[in-house]
Amino acid sequence: MKLIDEFDAKEGSFLLELRTDLNWNHRAFLNLLNNLLQECKKTNDHIILNRNIAEGVWYISHFIKNWSTHRNFRKEYSDEYYEKAYELIYDLATYYFSSFSPYTSGDKFETLLEELENLTKKT
């Protein structure tokens, strides 16, 4: 499962690069977000959640921001980019645990991803 591989920081995962290389890989981050969104949609009406995935979602909901705001972390993008990225992670974690999408419009998530992508071009 792609999401479990991400949470386990397997080769090619966003978390592996973030944790070991102090590198924010934008493409890998988008992959993580998309995989998490698919999991949210898939489990939206489930009463019981997979503990392994739940632990991973809980972990990334705070780890990514904590790790990448360390003073030694080299930031490749603007502060606005990172704030939007943290917001997306928080929103998806909320969605996963509450089964309530913070995106009232079906295309809101895609719009936020586009905004994030545009911010990579400004740096």
Report the predicted TM-score, pTM, of the whole model to 2 decimal places. Answer: 0.90
Q: How many domains does the structure of the chain reveal?
A: 1
> Which DSSP category does 117 fall into?
H
pLDDT value, residue 110: 80
Burial class (CB in 10 A: 0-12, 13-18, 19+), 116: buried
Tell me the angle at which helices 79-98 and 26-42 cross, rounded to the nearest 10 degrees.
20
- Residues 83 and 30: beta-carbon distance below 8 Å: no
Question: How confident is the model over 102-123, as a mean pLDDT?
Answer: 79
Helix (H, G, I), strand (E, B) or coil at 104: coil
Structural Rg of the chain based on CA atoms: 14
Please spell the DSSP secondary structure of 2-22, one letter per residue: HHHHHHTT-TT-HHHHHHHH-
Reported as a single tens digit per residue, the pLDDT across 73-105 is 989 999 999 999 999 999 999 999 998 888 766
Q: Look-up: residue for tokens 């949470």?
A: 7
> Which DSSP category does 71 fall into?
T
Domain that holds residue 63: 2-121
